[in-house]
Amino acid sequence: MSVYEYKCTKCGEKFEIRHSIFIRSKDKEVCPNCGFNQAERVYSSFCSGSNSEGSQASTPTRHFG
């Protein structure tokens, strides 16, 4: 399962939905905050890196708001 980020076009709430990459809804997602059904997918980047020893990758931190 993949995690997809969405943002409500009415109230601005950001939320995540998990579903298979093979299931793509043609309808807009429903905002859990206000119930409006016009949330749009947010395309985010990811970050990876390593510590000074080069043996462990750092864990990215997600911020909302």
pLDDT digits (tens, 9 = 90+) for 12-37: 999 998 877 776 666 678 999 999 99
Q: Is 18 left (phi over 0), alpha (psi -120 to 50) or beta?
A: beta
pLDDT for 6-15, tens place per residue? 999 999 999 9
The alpha carbon of 35 is separated from its chain's Cα centroid by a whole number of angstroms, namely 18
Nearest to 18 by CA among 39, 5, 2, 31: 2
- pTM assigned to the model: 0.59
Whether 36 contacts 29, CB under 8 Å = no
- Domain positions in the chain: 2-42
The rounded distance, in Å, linking the Cα atoms of 2 and 36 is: 23
Give me the CATH code for the 2-42 domain, please.
Answer: 2.20.28
Q: What six digits make up the tokens of 56? A: 């462990």
